[in-house]
Amino acid sequence: MASTPLPVLRQRSFGETARRDRWWLQPLLVFLGFGTFLVYANWAAFQGAHYTYGPYLSPFYSPELFGNSPHAWFGPQPAWWPSWLPFSPALIILWAPAGFRLTCYYYRGAYYKAFWADPPNCAVGEPRKHYIGESNWPLRIQNIHRYFLYFAILFLFMLAYDAASAFWFKDANGKGNFGIGVGSLVLTANVILLSGYTLGCHSLRHLVGGRRDCISTSPLCHKAYKGCSALNKRHMLWAWVSLVGVMFTDVYVRLCSMGVWTDVRIL
Ligand code: FES
């Protein structure tokens, strides 16, 4: 029997598509949302001021390895800091959470479309003629995501410590007392949202799931795999709410520190 010849696929020109929906809306929203975050995060990281208020520490500056606040682990600005670069504690540590987010499987798909139009959306013509993909350089570097994951988990513990410390207010004599401020709840919500995002990571799911191409037979690993999978189903949602959460937490601490907002004490 003669086989039917396969149709010859023609490469679409840039933006050409048979789609009739508003395919441009999603990349536009990603461009605006992620772009706003990138601009704000860079601005906030270079400020080097107004990142603490009482027991609160902005997540952009945590852990504060060196700095002038009482949260600093190893004291003030180190002598080795280059004189041409304005000192900010955030610049020492932000590479880790930034690297984790920028190499996230979800964000990659989103910002390739929104920022590089590669392609602008599924089944829409792209500006390039040849597909390079992530199995070649330079995008092969995205495989580093699994290593950033270890740092992200470490950061979760440190942010959880910051959230717990946010319930501990010093009185006039320097004695710590338990209390609850709106900021305590903001820092707690931030670490919950970041946990929902990090623990649903594709790489973590693979890591706890077992061996290559085979789900672990260990009941503990299987439970962990199912937990990761449940969060992973909504990974995009967790990615966005945690992004907004971390930005809002910095805004909250910053505006309280500047005296623009008042931190209401609930207890
Ligand atoms: Fe998104 Fe790992 S895949 S955080």
Secondary structure class of 121 (helix, strand, coil): coil
**Residue 118 CB burial class (10 angstroms; 0-12, 13-18, ≥19):** middle
Residue 188 CA, ligand 1 centroid: distance in Å: 21
Kind and range of the H or E element at 56? Answer: strand 56-57
Residue 184 CA, ligand 1 centroid: distance in Å: 27
Tell me: the pLDDT tens digits for 73-100?
Answer: 999 999 999 999 999 999 999 999 999 9
Q: What are the helix (H) ranges across the chain?
A: 25-47, 90-93, 95-102, 105-116, 145-165, 182-198, 202-209, 219-232, 235-257
Token reading at 215: 């789900």
Residue 236 CA, ligand 1 centroid: distance in Å: 9
Atom of ligand 1 nearest to the CA of 204: 2
Atom of ligand 1 nearest to the CA of 152: 4
Token reading at 246: 């971390």
Token reading at 117: 């139009």
Atom of ligand 1 nearest to the CA of 239: 1
> What's the rounded Cα separation, in Å, for the pair 207 and 224?
10
Q: Report angle CA 88, 252, 172 to the nearest 5 degrees.
A: 85
pLDDT at 89: 98
Question: Which residue reads 């350089």 in tokens?
Answer: 137
**Residue 84 CB burial class (10 angstroms; 0-12, 13-18, ≥19):** exposed
Nearest CA to ligand 1 atom 1: 104
pLDDT under 50: residue ranges of the chain: none
- Say what the pTM is: 0.92
Cis peptide before 219 (omega within 30 of 0): no
pLDDT at 109: 95
pLDDT at 127: 86
- Biggest CA-to-CA distance, the chain: 93
Question: Which residue reads 């700095």 in tokens?
Answer: 67
Residue 264 CA, ligand 1 centroid: distance in Å: 35
Residue of 193, 194, 201, 208 to test ligand 1 pocket, by largest number of atoms within 8 Å of CB: 201
**Cβ–ligand 1 contact at 201 (below 6 Å):** yes
* Residue among 158, 148, 185, 205 at smallest CA distance from 64: 158
Residue of 147, 156, 203, 231 to test ligand 1 pocket, by largest number of atoms within 8 Å of CB: 203
Single-letter amino acid, residue 159: L
pLDDT at 40: 98
